[in-house]
Structure 1
């Protein structure tokens, strides 16, 4: 597990997204996660929605199901799946700014809560499906992250996790110059490997039914972001002011690190499909 040399917690994560809220939306839009390219001809907007659809397909969502979005951001994923798949969704975010934005775009069957997933207050076995798109990285206690998902899901429920992952046995220079700074600058309390995630999921009571490394299909996200940041800083004084004057503006430094981390193999992007063991012992 990669751990930053300056500890991060839920307060730091909330502050990061609250302060950088206008920058994120100006540079990337309503989805705060990678895009997923298949043909390479997709726009960035199409690619981010493709990742959402890939998650939904792995969950095998059915109309009327009760679902949980752990780290729902601006609510774009829950709105897309509530409208397109007919599910009911409770979303969790630490950011008041993200929740405020989501509330202004409310759709039926969606409830957005500003609350830490590690203290979510949901009843046991109250959901049939759950997903986490790039939020597990921000969890202080990743074992508890999986344990809470298992508790909240009903027997046989599915859980899909899209995660930034560290290369197993990463060389010292990759840790020092790429992975540790990415954690520190991005307010990630830790970054795990595929093997560590699978071990924590199994310990929580999940069976790993699928895993896909889509690093090559998501990596161009950061080249697009880099181009947009340069353009915005040159041409948009407001974005330049927001970015350079922010306490969390140091995250801009992580963009070139992320590009190199993917190219060097120091960082991977994985999609886990998990299933809670059913009462009869089957998944």
Structure 2
């Protein structure tokens, strides 16, 4: 597990997203996660929705199911799956700004809370499916992240995680100059490998039913974000003021992310987990 030299916590994560809120929406859009290029001809918007739809397919969502979006951001993934799959979604974000934006774009069946997933307050076995798209990286206690998901899911429930992962056995220079600074600048308390994620999931009681490395199919996201940020800095005075006056400087990590993907230091994995059914326990 890669841990930055400056300790990160949930307060720091919330501050990061609250302060950079206008920049994130300008550069990343409402979903605030990677796009997934399937044919290579998709627009960035289509690629982002393709990742969401892939999560829905991996979960096998059915109309009426109770679901949890762990680290829901602006609620866009929750809204899309609620509309396209007919599910009910409870979302959790640490950011008051993100929750405020979500409240202005309501969809029936979607309920967003400003609350730490590690103290979510949900009843045991109260959800049938859960997902975490690029939020597990921000969890201070990753084993507990998995344990809470297992507790909240009903028997037979499924859990899909889309995660930034460190290359297994990443060399020293990749850790020092790419991965550790990305953790520090992006407010990631730690960055795990595929093997570490699968071990924590198994320890929490899950069965790993699928894993796919889609690094090459998502990496284009960062060059798109770099272009959007450069344009915003050149044309938008407010974005320029916020970017250069911010305490949180994740913009510095965009070139690192591009290089991390190109060198293989950063991986992007989709992990599918299941909780044993009543007859399997």
What is the TM-score normalised by the length of structure 1? Answer: 0.98
C-alpha displacement at 1:29, in angstroms?
Answer: 1.0
Determine the structure 2 residue equivalent to 1:264. 263
C-alpha displacement at 1:154, in angstroms?
Answer: 0.4
C-alpha displacement at 1:261, in angstroms?
Answer: 0.3
In structure 2, the residue corresponding to 1:111 is in which secondary structure?
A: strand
Segments of 4+ in structure 1 off by > 3 A? none
Determine the structure 1 residue equivalent to 2:171. 171
Q: Which residues of 2 match residues 1-283 of structure 1 at below 5 A?
A: 1-248=1-248, 250-281=249-280
Structure 1 CA distance for aligned equivalents of residues 142 and 7 of structure 2 = 15
Structure 2 CA distance for aligned equivalents of residues 62 and 221 of structure 1 = 30
Structure 1 CA distance for aligned equivalents of residues 44 and 114 of structure 2 = 28
Q: Is the 8 A contact 2:26 2:228 kept in 1?
A: no
Structure 2 CA distance for aligned equivalents of residues 47 and 189 of structure 1 = 28
Structure 2 CA distance for aligned equivalents of residues 175 and 197 of structure 1 = 18
C-alpha displacement at 1:279, in angstroms?
Answer: 2.0
In structure 1, the residue corresponding to 2:58 is in which secondary structure?
A: helix
Structure 2 CA distance for aligned equivalents of residues 96 and 236 of structure 1 = 24
Structure 2 unaligned regions, length at least 5: none
C-alpha displacement at 1:238, in angstroms?
Answer: 1.6
What is the TM-score normalised by the length of structure 2? Answer: 0.99
In structure 2, the residue corresponding to 1:100 is in which secondary structure?
A: helix
C-alpha displacement at 1:27, in angstroms?
Answer: 1.5
In structure 1, the residue corresponding to 2:42 is in which secondary structure?
A: coil
Structure 1 unaligned regions, length at least 5: none
C-alpha displacement at 1:231, in angstroms?
Answer: 1.4
Cα root mean square deviation, aligned = 0.7
Structure 1 CA distance for aligned equivalents of residues 221 and 170 of structure 2 = 22
Structure 1 CA distance for aligned equivalents of residues 225 and 106 of structure 2 = 28
Instruction: Report Cα offsets for 1:200-247 as digits up to 9, x if no partner.
Output: 000000000000000000000000111111111112222111111111
Q: Is the 8 A contact 2:90 2:110 kept in 1?
A: yes
Instruction: Report Cα offsets for 1:4-48 as digits up to 9, x if no partner.
Output: 000000000000000000011112210110000011111111111
Q: Is the 8 A contact 2:37 2:218 kept in 1?
A: yes
Structure 2 CA distance for aligned equivalents of residues 91 and 252 of structure 1 = 26
Structure 2 CA distance for aligned equivalents of residues 231 and 95 of structure 1 = 26
Structure 1 CA distance for aligned equivalents of residues 38 and 66 of structure 2 = 29
In structure 2, the residue corresponding to 1:11 is in which secondary structure?
A: helix
C-alpha displacement at 1:277, in angstroms?
Answer: 1.2
| Paired residue total | 281
Instruction: Report Cα offsets for 1:63-104 as digits up to 9, x if no partner.
Output: 000000000000001111111100000000000000000011
In structure 2, the residue corresponding to 1:210 is in which secondary structure?
A: strand
Structure 2 CA distance for aligned equivalents of residues 47 and 232 of structure 1 = 22
